[in-house]
Amino acid sequence: MERKDHIDLFGGSVLVIFAMVMGLNQVVIKVVNEGMQPVFQAGLRSLFAFFVVWGWALWRGKRISVTDGTFKAGVLTGCLFSIEFIFLFLALDMTTVARNSIFWYSMPVWMAIGAHFLIEGERLNAKKILGLIISMVGLVWAFSDRGLDGESGSLLGDMMSILGSMCWAGIGLSVRVSKLKEASIEMQLLYNLAVSAIVLLPFSLLFGDWIRDLQTMHVFMLGFQVVIVVAGGFLVWFWILTIYPASDMASFGFLTPAFGVIFSWLILDEAISFTILGALVLISAGIVLINYKPKKPISNEDA
């Protein structure tokens, strides 16, 4: 498809579906945690997804190479990817999906802070600072609400969600300041999946038995993560990024945590407090401000 200067009906539909899948994924991970140990689940997901993405890359004729100067950066992002998902999968074993959705998708906040120091031309301005302040208020509000019903999750689980989100931002920053930004999207993803499979599977031995109460549905849900979320979801996201403006796409970012909260209520029957909804609104508003970039007016020369 040709490059477009705005989100049309097709692009909007794809982004909404993508947000729904990512929001649902939080619920899926939590359910599969009942059948297998979280870190083991994360390692298996990376291992199987690696072969799916590798096969896709070969079929599409994408260049697969570790000798193009990207190896060190690829290993670094793979290590961050491993730590990120250790935190995420363990967090979902401890805290609710609704709370995790709030903290996990605060990634643009940490990304903006890191970019201010590491990436030229992306310093914080008044609008971004206002967005950061609003998002931080939402995070503190959600974090301080421990609840009285026992459904608010653990302090450790919430902290893991935030730390995982920071690692996610670290991956994006590492790509942008290294030679890895010149590699194909498939190669970037393959680095992450290969390194995380190598790290997570042995590391999972430290977290107890691999199998808990494994049922057939857990196996199918793991397959959903491998094919639809990791392989399909991320590849579709990066594909759509080549067609539509990143600034326009960023405005859809608040939908994923919103869907995470909705699915946690619909599927897991989690209690959704006013604090969670209020924090979601504040963080989403802050993220929109952080990512907002006014469109440049079309000059007569461009018309």
Residue pair 24/228 in contact (Cβ under 8 Å)? The answer is no
Q: What pLDDT is recorded for position 152?
A: 57
pLDDT tens sequence across 175-197: 888 888 888 888 989 999 999 99
Q: What pLDDT is recorded for position 42?
A: 97
With 60 as the cut, is the pLDDT of residue 151 above it? no
pLDDT tens sequence across 232-252: 887 787 677 667 665 556 666
pTM above 0.75, yes or no: yes
Q: Kindly state the helix (H) or strand (E) to which residue 130 belongs, with its residue range.
A: helix 126-144
Residue pair 283/100 in contact (Cβ under 8 Å)? The answer is no
pLDDT tens sequence across 37-77: 999 999 999 999 999 999 988 988 888 888 889 999 999 99
146 — pLDDT class (breaks 50, 70, 90)? low
pLDDT tens sequence across 249-269: 666 667 888 899 999 999 999
**Tokens found for residue 280:** 């979601």
Q: What pLDDT is recorded for position 149?
A: 44
Q: Exposure string (b/e) for 235-258, b if CB count within 10 Å is 16 or more? A: bbeeebeebbbeebbbebbbbbbb
Residues 214-237: what's their mean pLDDT?
A: 90
Q: What pLDDT is recorded for position 24?
A: 93
Q: What pLDDT is recorded for position 301?
A: 47
Q: What pLDDT is recorded for position 303?
A: 39
Q: How far is CA 83 from CA 160, 168, 174, in A?
A: 10, 9, 14
**Tokens found for residue 62:** 């994408």
Q: In the chain, where are the structural domains located?
A: 9-291
* DSSP per residue, 202-260: HHGGGGS-SBSS--HHHHHHHHHIIIIIIIIIHHHHHHHHTTS-HHHHHTTTTHHHHHH
Q: How far is CA 107 from the centre of its chain?
A: 8
Residue pair 114/170 in contact (Cβ under 8 Å)? The answer is yes
Residues 7-34: what's their mean pLDDT?
A: 88
13 — pLDDT class (breaks 50, 70, 90)? confident
Cα separation, 83 vs 169, whole angstroms: 12
